[in-house]
C-alpha cells in the first residue's frame, strides 16, 4: 500500500471520526464560553428602549399628573358662597380622558383640528348690520329650545376666538347646549372670518375692536327689550367682551354676568412669551400667524386693492411684509394696528387689551383658564388672580388640565361631545339668574313689609 493510501485510510478510520466529533463539540463550547452575554445584552437594549419610550409617553401625556377640582380665587361674599353651593362643577374633580386628557398640547390640538366630536348643527338666522364705516357685520341668532330654569327671557351674546365664527364646531356644541337650557344665543362672526362673506370696507377684525360686538348687543337689546344678557367670550373673544363691558357703564345695562374662557388679558405682556419656545408657544404662534395670513390674503382686493381707500398708514409694502411674517406680532405691526391708526405695536396692544378695563366691570364676572394652556403663559394668570383678590364680583377658575379651549371629558380614550367648559358656563349662568331672582324676591318682600308697617 502506498503512503498516500495509508494516509487516506488513517483519515477515514474510527479513531479519526471520534476525534473530529470531539473537536467540533469543543469549538462550539468555546464559542458559547466566549460570548455568554450576547442574549442578555440584546434583552437589556430592548428593555432600555421600551423604558425610554414609556418615559417619553408618560412625560408627554403627563400621565402622572393628578386630577383635582379647579383652584378657585375669590373674595368671601354672599355671591361667592351662593355660587359654590349652586355650581357643583366649581368644587367637583375635573376628570379628562385618561390616556391623553392630561396633556395640554393634545387637548389644544384636538380643539384646533376637530373642535368637538359629534357636534350638533343648531338652526339659526344670519343677521347683517351695516357699520358706520361701510363694513358689514354679521351674527347668527338661535332661539331657545326649552324654557329657562327661572322662566325669564335670557340671551347669551357670544364672541368666539381668533378668526372664528358661528360655524365652528366648539361654538355649535356650546350653542346647542345653551339652547336646550332655555337660552337664546347670538354669536358674532368676526369681520372677515366667514369665507363666503366679502368685506365691504378696508377693515377686518382685530384683537380688541368692540364695534361689531357692540352692534350685535344693541340689536338684541332693541329687538328683545325684555331680555337680559349673559356675555360670553372665548380666547380672543374673552378680551373683546371684557373690554366692551369696561369701556362704558352703559354697556353693562341689562347684563346679568360675563364669562371669559382662555384669554391672555394683556397682549403687551403676552408678546414676549409668545416668541419663546417654552411649551412650543413659538410654534403655535407660527401656526396662528399662517392662518391669519391666509384670511387676510383671501380679502386682498378689499384691503389692498387700488380702488380701495386704505388707511393712510397702510402702504403697499405692508403687503410684501405680510407674506414673510412668521408671527402674529409681525402681522399686527405691519397690518392690523393700522386699521385703527395706532402709531406703534406697543400702543396698539396697550389700548386693545382688556387688562386696563377689568376693574370697571361691576356685574358678576367669571374668568376661566387652564393651568396647562400652552398658549397662555403662567405669568399672565397673575392678572385674574390679583383682580379676584380685590373685587367681590370676580371669580377666577383655574383647573389643572384643559389646554386651550379643550376641556374634554371622557373615560379612557374617546371624549364626550359635551365638554367641562360648556357645562360650567351654562351652570354659572343658571346660578347667576337664580341669584338675581332671589334678590328680586327679597326686595319685593322687604317692600311689602315696609308697606304693611
Instruction: List the catalytic residues.
Output: 235, 373, 404
Whole-angstrom distance, CA of residue 189 vs CA of residue 191: 6
Backbone phi and psi for residue 394, each to the nearest 5 degrees, phi listed first: -110, 135
Angle (deg, nearest 10), helices 211-223 and 236-247? 70
Query: Smallest Cα–Cα separation from 158: which of 183, 125, 192, 182?
Result: 183
CA atoms of 437 and 431, how far apart (whole Å): 10
What does DSSP say about strands 136-142 and 125-130: parallel, antiparallel, or unpaired?
Answer: antiparallel
Q: In angstroms, rounded to a whole number, what is the distance separating the alpha carbons of residues 214 and 449?
A: 41
What is the residue-wise DSSP string for 99-150?
TTTT-HHHHHHHHHHHSSSS------EEEEEE-TTS-EEEEEEE--SS--TT
What are 158's strand-pairing partners? 187, 232
User: Closest by alpha carbon to 416, among 424, 407, 403?
Assistant: 407
Q: Are strands 184-189 and 136-142 parallel, antiparallel or unpaired?
A: antiparallel
Strands 71-73, 394-398: pairing kind: antiparallel
The grid cell for 352 is 386693545
| Rounded distance between C-alpha atoms, residue 98 and residue 87, angstroms | 24
| Dihedral pair phi/psi, residue 95, rounded to 5° | -115, 105
Grid coordinates given for 445: 318682600
Torsion sign (Cα): 435, 440, 444, 450: positive
d(CA 103, CA 400): 10
Q: Return the SS3 of 303.
A: helix
Query: At a CB cut-off of 8 Å and minimum separation 6, what does 415 contact?
Result: 97, 101, 110, 117, 408, 409
Q: CA-to-CA distance for 419 and 437, rounded, in angstroms?
A: 28
Q: Would you say 125 and 165 are in contact if contact means Cβ atoms under 8 Å apart?
A: no
Amino acid at each position: 500500500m502506498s503512503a498516500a493510501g495509508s494516509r487516506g485510510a488513517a483519515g477515514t478510520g474510527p479513531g479519526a471520526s471520534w476525534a473530529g466529533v470531539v473537536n467540533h463539540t469543543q469549538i462550539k463550547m468555546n464559542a458559547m464560553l466566549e460570548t455568554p452575554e450576547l442574549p442578555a445584552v440584546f434583552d437589556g437594549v430592548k428593555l432600555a428602549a421600551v423604558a425610554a419610550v414609556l418615559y417619553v409617553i408618560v412625560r408627554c401625556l403627563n400621565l402622572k399628573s393628578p386630577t383635582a377640582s379647579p383652584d378657585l380665587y375669590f373674595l368671601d361674599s354672599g355671591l361667592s358662597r351662593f355660587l359654590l353651593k349652586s355650581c357643583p362643577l366649581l368644587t367637583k374633580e375635573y376628570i379628562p380622558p385618561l390616556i391623553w386628557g392630561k396633556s395640554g398640547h393634545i387637548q389644544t390640538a384636538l380643539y384646533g383640528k376637530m373642535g368637538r366630536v359629534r357636534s350638533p348643527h343648531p338652526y339659526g338666522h344670519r343677521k347683517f348690520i351695516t357699520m358706520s364705516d361701510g363694513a358689514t357685520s354679521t351674527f347668527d341668532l338661535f332661539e331657545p329650545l326649552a324654557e329657562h330654569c327661572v322662566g325669564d327671557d335670557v340671551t347669551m351674546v357670544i364672541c368666539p376666538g381668533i378668526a372664528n365664527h358661528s360655524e365652528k364646531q366648539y361654538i355649535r356644541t356650546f350653542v346647542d347646549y345653551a339652547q336646550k337650557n332655555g337660552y337664546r344665543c347670538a354669536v358674532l362672526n368676526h369681520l372677515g372670518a366667514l369665507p363666503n362673506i366679502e368685506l365691504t370696507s378696508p377693515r377686518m377684525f382685530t384683537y380688541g375692536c368692540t364695534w361689531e360686538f357692540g352692534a350685535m348687543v344693541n340689536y338684541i337689546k332693541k329687538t328683545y327689550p325684555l331680555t337680559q344678557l349673559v356675555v360670553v367670550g372665548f380666547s380672543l373673544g374673552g378680551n373683546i367682551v371684557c373690554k366692551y363691558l369696561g369701556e362704558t357703564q352703559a354697556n353693562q345695562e341689562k347684563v346679568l354676568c360675563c364669562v371669559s374662557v382662555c384669554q391672555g388679558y394683556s397682549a403687551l405682556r403676552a408678546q414676549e412669551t409668545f416668541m419663546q419656545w417654552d411649551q412650543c408657544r413659538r410654534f403655535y404662534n407660527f401656526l396662528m400667524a399662517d392662518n391669519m395670513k391666509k384670511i387676510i390674503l383671501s380679502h386682498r382686493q378689499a384691503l389692498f386693492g387700488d380702488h380701495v381707500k386704505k388707511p393712510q398708514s397702510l402702504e403697499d409694502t405692508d403687503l410684501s411684509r405680510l407674506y414673510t411674517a412668521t408671527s402674529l406680532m409681525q402681522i399686527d405691526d405691519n397690518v392690523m394696528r393700522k386699521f385703527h391708526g395706532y402709531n406703534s405695536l406697543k400702543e396698539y396692544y396697550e389700548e386693545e387689551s382688556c387688562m386696563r378695563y377689568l376693574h370697571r366691570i361691576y356685574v358678576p364676572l367669571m374668568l376661566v383658564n387652564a393651568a396647562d394652556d400652552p398658549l397662555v403663559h403662567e405669568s399672565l394668570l397673575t392678572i385674574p388672580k390679583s383682580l379676584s383678590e380685590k373685587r367681590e364680583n370676580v371669580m377666577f377658575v383655574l383647573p389643572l388640565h384643559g389646554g386651550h379651549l379643550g376641556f374634554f371629558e371622557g373615560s379612557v380614550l374617546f371624549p364626550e361631545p359635551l365638554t367641562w367648559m360648556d357645562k360650567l358656563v351654562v351652570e354659572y349662568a343658571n346660578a347667576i339668574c337664580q341669584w338675581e331672582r332671589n334678590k328680586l324676591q327679597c326686595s319685593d318682600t322687604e317692600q311689602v313689609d315696609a308697606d304693611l308697617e
